[in-house]
């Protein structure tokens, strides 16, 4: 299925940037430090973002979207990442790029009308529940089970590292509908709250602190027959395709956040005096910053190539490559940012340490860098039979 990548003239795309930038600078950036300290943010932000169309860029107007336009959508991701709060950007991104994306790709017309429309408007909040305590990146190893009942399905199991998990109005849940192990027999479900037997526990994380990262416990949760999302028994394959989009947007988010961190570091280096001259007057830092800028441009160029390929169902290895390179680059740049701040980079009162902590999840979420290398090797016929 070909998707629209462009569709907007440069002037129109810049208008999208300005709209999102104004929202971020008014609603997120001024509150980033306070939300970091509180490890929380107001959920009303979802409704305000939805009211100006931030969640609808890649979705059909039939369901309340303004797209489909993937280039406009990743511009939203980039601007959100520049708000200085990776936790909030992640919460909003998990809603639009995970939960809503799955609904748009695999939902029935009835599911889209009932849930996706409200989600695009920010009136309902979504979460994706795939990862399990013993599985990690091993989607095929999903142990949560869904057993057929006379009225629908009964879901039992546990999920972990679920963004928005404790307050989401709906969850996209992967469960095993066939007891035999392996890729076949996994099915996606649209699970809506309130739901008896579903409990959530928020986790304390190294970074993305305002984001609610949770464990979920399904204790015989009863869902109707119409809760199946996509094709029964094809959940693994649905997830693999959706992961390509997740990796594309993670690449854009990582490069945008790293650029913000680098800008802050260069500004600091202009002002910070050492031995009577600004830090930036030293060639060693000029060259280190030059390397960072060059790496950022290369990483974003690869992300753009991955975006074009995803839209035309081209090379399936490019999203993995883009995320691998972008998140690795973001981690290295955030480390340089801490270094140029010196002792202040290690102090909690300065933002350098937050950029460092927030960047570190990039090589883990959405498929670890180790898994991505396996994907790239397999798709490029580098692996050998075991």
> CA-CA distance, 289 to 274, in Å (whole number)?
17
Pair 151, 223: CB distance under 8 Å: no
Q: What is the pTM of this model?
A: 0.94
Round to whole Å and give the CA distance between 118 and 190. Answer: 14
What is the C-alpha end-to-end distance of the chain, expressed in Å? Answer: 34
Mean pLDDT by 10 residues, the chain (386 residues): 54 85 97 97 98 96 94 96 97 98 98 98 98 90 96 97 98 95 92 98 97 98 97 97 98 98 97 94 96 98 97 93 98 98 95 97 96 95 74
Please, what sign has the CA dihedral across residues 165, 50, 172, 2?
negative
Sketch the domain layout of the chain as residue ranges. Answer: 10-124, 128-231, 236-379
- How does pLDDT run across 195-250, given as a tens digit for each residue? 999 999 999 999 999 999 999 999 999 999 999 999 999 999 999 999 999 999 99
Tell which CATH classification among 1.20.140.10, 1.10.287.70, 3.30.70.100, 3.10.20.30 matches the domain 236-379: 1.20.140.10
**Which among 246, 271, 297, 370 is annotated as catalytic?**
246
Could you tell me how far CA 359 lies from the centroid of its own chain? 12
Residues 6+ apart with CB under 8 A from 284: none
Question: What's the fold here for domain 10-124?
Answer: Butyryl-Coa Dehydrogenase, subunit A; domain 1 (1.10.540)
Decide which of 3.40.50.2000, 3.40.50.720, 2.40.110.10, 3.50.50.60 is the CATH code for 128-231.
Answer: 2.40.110.10
Is 18 an active-site residue? Answer: no
Tokens of 372: 């991505």
Instruction: Note whether 322 and 305 are within 8 A (CB).
Output: yes
Q: How far is CA 355 from CA 64, 143, 266, in A?
A: 34, 35, 14
């Amino acid at each position: 299925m070909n998707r629209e990548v462009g569709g907007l003239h440069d002037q129109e795309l810049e208008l999208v940037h300005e709209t999102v930038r104004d929202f971020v600078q008014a609603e997120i950036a001024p509150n980033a430090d306070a939300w970091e300290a509180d490890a929380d943010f107001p959920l009303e932000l979802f409704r305000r973002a939805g009211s100006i169309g931030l969640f609808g860029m890649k979705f059909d107007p039939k369901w309340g979207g303004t797209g489909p336009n993937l280039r406009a959508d990743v511009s939203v991701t980039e601007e959100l990442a520049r708000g200085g709060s990776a936790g909030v950007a992640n919460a909003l991104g998990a809603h639009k790029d995970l939960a809503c994306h799955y609904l748009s790709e695999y939902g029935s017309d009835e599911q889209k009308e009932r849930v996706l429309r409200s989600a695009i408007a920010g009136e309902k909040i979504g979460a994706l529940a795939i990862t399990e305590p013993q599985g990690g990146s091993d989607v095929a190893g999903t142990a949560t089970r869904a057993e057929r009942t006379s009225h629908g399905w009964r879901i039992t199991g546990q999920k972990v590292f679920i963004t928005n998990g404790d307050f989401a109005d709906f969850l996209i849940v992967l469960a095993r509908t066939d007891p035999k192990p392996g890729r076949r027999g996994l099915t996606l479900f649209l699970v809506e709250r309130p739901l008896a037997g579903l409990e959530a526990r928020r986790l304390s994380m190294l970074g993305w602190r305002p984001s609610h990262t949770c464990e979920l416990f399904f204790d015989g949760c009863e869902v109707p027959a119409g809760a199946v999302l996509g094709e029964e028994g094809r959940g693994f394959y649905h997830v693999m395709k959706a992961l390509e989009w997740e990796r594309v947007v993670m690449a854009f988010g990582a490069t945008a956040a790293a650029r913000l961190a680098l800008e802050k570091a260069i500004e600091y280096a202009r002002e910070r005096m050492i031995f009577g001259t600004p830090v930036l007057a030293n060639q060693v830092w000029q060259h280190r910053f030059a390397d960072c800028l060059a790496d950022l441009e290369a990483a974003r160029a690869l992300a753009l190539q991955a975006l074009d390929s995803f839209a035309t169902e081209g090379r399936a290895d490019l999203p993995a490559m883009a995320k691998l390179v972008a998140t690795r680059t973001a981690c290295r740049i955030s480390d340089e940012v801490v270094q140029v701040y010196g002792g202040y980079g290690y102090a909690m009162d300065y933002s350098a340490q937050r950029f460092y902590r927030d960047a570190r999840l990039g090589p883990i979420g959405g498929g670890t860098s180790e898994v991505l290398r396996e994907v790239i090797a397999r798709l490029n016929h580098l692996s050998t039979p075991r």
